Amino acid sequence: MSGSDWFTLAYTVLGGLGIFLFGMKLLSESLQTLASDFIRKLIGWLTNNRVVAMGVGVLLTVIVQSSSVTTVMLVGFINAGLMTLTQAVGVVLGANIGTTITGWIIAIKIGKYGLLLVGAGFVPFFFLKSVRWKNLGKVLIALGMIFLGLSFMSGGFKPLSKTDDFHSMLHFFDANNIFSVLACVGIGCLLTFIVQSSSAMLAITMSLAAAGQIDYHTAAALVLGENIGTTITMHLAAIGGTIDAKRASYAHIMFNVIGVSVMVILFPWYVNVVEYVVESVPGAVSSLFSVGSEGGGGDGLDQLVMMKIAAGHSMFNITNNLFFLPLLPLLVRLVTWMKPDKGRKSKKRLKLAGDLGKVSPELALEEAEGELRLMRDVVLDAWDETCTYVRLQADKPDLFAHINHLENVTDNIQMEMTLFITEVMQLPLSAESSKRGYSLIRLSDELESIVDYCENLAKYRARLFRDNLKFSEDAQRDFDELTKMTGEFLRASAEFVVERQEADMEDESVRNLIKLSDAMGERADEVRDGHLMRVRSGSCEPLAGMVFSDMVVALRRIKNHTVNLIDARIGRWEERRDALRNLERLADESSEIQPVS
């Protein structure tokens, strides 16, 4: 081959790979957008049942068309507390099965229809106004680009058949003995490490096989290596994540490495079984995957090599994961032992993860919902610590310092949430998702403000310790009662806003929260009036009375920001409260009507 031939080969293969990868990215984004509601339901289905978790992993990866995207999302979901370690490992098992669908898409013999698919997708994408139809058009365009890219790569590799040096190099990797199999596994693993896309390496492998440059045995060994190489993506995403995210990445590496090691030992039987199964398939089915003239192969070309690679990829992953499924609890215990927590308390901070270039905005917002749950927990911790501190009879500086620390933590969380969601909202969003994003920003801001006033309460109590002041018995009783009511309202509201995203006037939870809020407001007015009477009668020390007034105001502010929490989630709080009052008034009036005798 001349220099110009090599140049032609390079730009054809790289261009084809670029079209293929862009098509895969477009397909992933389109399917995620189309199925965003279903994906949210999938996450809600998760339990500690390993079979269900694996099923979720299969469906999720089929939708997003990338095990790498799935595993990166998993790291974010684990960090956000949406998944336990057991659930995550089960989902990873399923992701390994789900990713095999890519091989079957590549293997289908419709490369010559790539332009037809692009043309078919062009019409709804550019001319229809419906968002769903536009996304469906993007799916067709993406599939067309995938097949066009594969066609270009297969055609680009054809001239290699005339290169003796290339065939001499491949002779070492012909997978005819254990050493060459290991060499192929190592090459597949290394290249996937570098490219960080098992789909790209699988496409290159299948294109080489379709062009007749490598046989099925070599391709099968390369694909085994690619299964190990793809674990790097999740491992890199888990760096800096929670301990469970790191454990999940170790589990991913372990069962892929163990599975490949076993398959290398059984390699001759493994490829023979795959070949036997594929060659036993009826001709009408196998014709869909036959390379034929599309691959451009010459004499001796294995017409079913693409189908064999896809079938082998599926057989390995399904067999490997079904083997590990009963052992999942043992695997979880093993990675927990390998990566111990060392008794250190996990940091109270959020770890938003996920490449927004890969994960759809809807899924990014779902991760932010999980982060909001963690923030809620920090806020309730701060409230509990504050209540403990204000009830102390003697100062406890360590507890006061911890409350200040939690206030700083929530400041950082609120800033991180705002920056992340703002970045998400720069992406194309539906009206519903945009509204949800604004709601999440406001929720994080209100939660942070609540902890600000918890810190203020602690400061006021510290002033009483410093100046050796005490409340009167009546004042202390009023304050304790108002504090209890505030805590009940805060806890119920915080639980509601992180667990519910939609509610209406008929929702019993909303009605109960409105009643709690009104009861608190009435009790706060009574406490204020009682305080003024004590000040006038002189039964309350002036300085202690000022601190008491400040602490009651702080409780009112906590109550007001808690009301804002509910309003940020459901909106129209005042309308809902007024409507409830009208309903109650009408009910009272109707009960007073006496029947006519």
Q: So what's the pLDDT on residue 95? A: 86
pLDDT tens digits, 424-447: 887 767 677 788 888 889 999 999
Q: So what's the pLDDT on residue 385? A: 93
pLDDT tens digits, 65-113: 677 777 777 777 777 666 788 888 888 888 888 888 888 887 776 656 7
Please list, residue by residue across 448-485, b when 16 or more beta carbons sit within 10 angstroms of its beta carbon and e when fewer do.
bbbbbbbbbbbbbbbbbbeeeeebbeebeebbeebbeb
Report residue 346 as tokens: 């996990």
Which residues does the chain have with pLDDT short of 70? 1-6, 35-37, 40, 43-44, 46-48, 65, 80-82, 109-112, 154, 156-175, 240, 283-302, 342-360, 428, 430, 500-507, 539, 571-597
Contact assessment for residue 561 and residue 449, using Cβ atoms and an 8 Å cutoff: yes
Contact assessment for residue 57 and residue 85, using Cβ atoms and an 8 Å cutoff: no
Contact assessment for residue 151 and residue 17, using Cβ atoms and an 8 Å cutoff: no
Q: So what's the pLDDT on residue 56? A: 83
Task: Measure CA 124 to chain center.
Answer: 30
User: Which domains does the chain show, CATH number per domain?
Assistant: 3-160+172-338 (no CATH), 361-591 (1.20.58.220)
- For the chain, the distance separating the N- and C-terminal CA atoms, rounded to the nearest angstrom, is 111
Closest CA to 67 of 22, 39, 100: 100
Report residue 428 as tokens: 């194309």
**For residues 57 and 92, what is the distance between their CA atoms, to the nearest angstrom?**
6
Contact assessment for residue 39 and residue 363, using Cβ atoms and an 8 Å cutoff: yes
Report residue 442 as tokens: 């406001």
Q: Is 479 helix (H, G, I), strand (E, B) or coil?
A: helix
At 554, which helix (H) or strand (E)? helix 542-570
Tell me the Ramachandran region of residue 347: left when phi exceeds 0, alpha when psi lies from -120 to 50, beta otherwise.
beta
The whole model's pTM is what?
Answer: 0.66
Q: So what's the pLDDT on residue 231? A: 85
- CA 25 to each of CA 19, 69, 132, 291: distance values in angstroms, whole numbers, following the listed order: 10, 10, 18, 25
Three-state secondary structure readout of 289-321? CCCCCCCCCCCCCCCCHHHHHHHHHHHHHHHHH
Q: Is 449 helix (H, G, I), strand (E, B) or coil?
A: helix
Report residue 481 as tokens: 């009662």
Q: So what's the pLDDT on residue 78? A: 77
**For residues 482 and 296, what is the distance between their CA atoms, to the nearest angstrom?**
81
pLDDT tens digits, 240-268: 677 888 888 888 888 899 999 999 999 98
Please list, residue by residue across 2-14, b when 16 or more beta carbons sit within 10 angstroms of its beta carbon and e when fewer do.
eeeeeeebeebbe
Q: So what's the pLDDT on residue 142? A: 84
Report residue 377 as tokens: 């927990």
**For residues 199 and 184, what is the distance between their CA atoms, to the nearest angstrom?**
17
Closest CA to 452 of 417, 547, 444: 444
Query: DSSP letter string over 143-184?
Result: HHHHHHHHHHHHHHHGGGGG-HHHHHHHHTTS-SSHHHHHHH
**For residues 286 and 130, what is the distance between their CA atoms, to the nearest angstrom?**
38
